[in-house]
């Protein structure tokens, strides 16, 4: 379970977890939001991709990115903790990295 530390949170149910998140950054194809895992208090970054806007080829690229990120395990690479697919959206839960762009 994840919660956000700010009041601007939105709560929603997922297949394996509950999250509350606040908007932190908006990119060309996704939104990245900070979230906190309720059970541990650890902070994570949730990359939220609107799959309704993706072409079939872009959706394949997204699935490939998630597969590759799941396999990576190195101290200098941001780790993917979870990949959750819901109707219209795909959520990638990564380590939170602060202090940079």
pLDDT at 74: 93
> Domain-by-domain residue ranges, the chain?
2-95
**Per-residue pLDDT tens over the stretch 25-47:** 777 678 888 887 777 778 888 88
Q: Rounded mean pLDDT of the chain?
A: 76
CB within 8 A of 71, min separation 6: which ones?
A: none
> pTM for this structure?
0.73
For 61-80, write each residue's pLDDT tens digit.
989 989 999 999 999 999 99
Q: Is the pLDDT of residue 6 over 70?
A: no
Candidate CATH numbers 3.30.70.100, 3.30.200.20, 3.30.160.270, 3.40.50.620; the one for domain 2-95 = 3.30.200.20
The reported pLDDT for the residue numbered 28 is: 67
| Phi-psi label, residue 14: left if phi above 0, alpha if psi -120 to 50, beta otherwise | beta
């Amino acid at each position: 379970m994840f919660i956000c530390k700010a009041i601007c949170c939105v709560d929603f149910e997922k297949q394996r977890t509950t999250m509350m998140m606040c908007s932190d950054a908006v990119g060309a194809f996704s939104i990245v939001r900070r979230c906190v895992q309720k059970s541990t208090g650890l902070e994570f970054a949730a990359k939220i991709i609107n799959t309704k806007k993706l072409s079939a080829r872009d959706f394949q690229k997204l699935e490939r990115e998630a597969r590759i990120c799941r396999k990576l395990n190195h101290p200098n690479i941001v780790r993917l903790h979870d990949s959750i697919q819901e109707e219209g959206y795909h959520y990638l839960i990564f380590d939170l990295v602060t202090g940079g762009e």
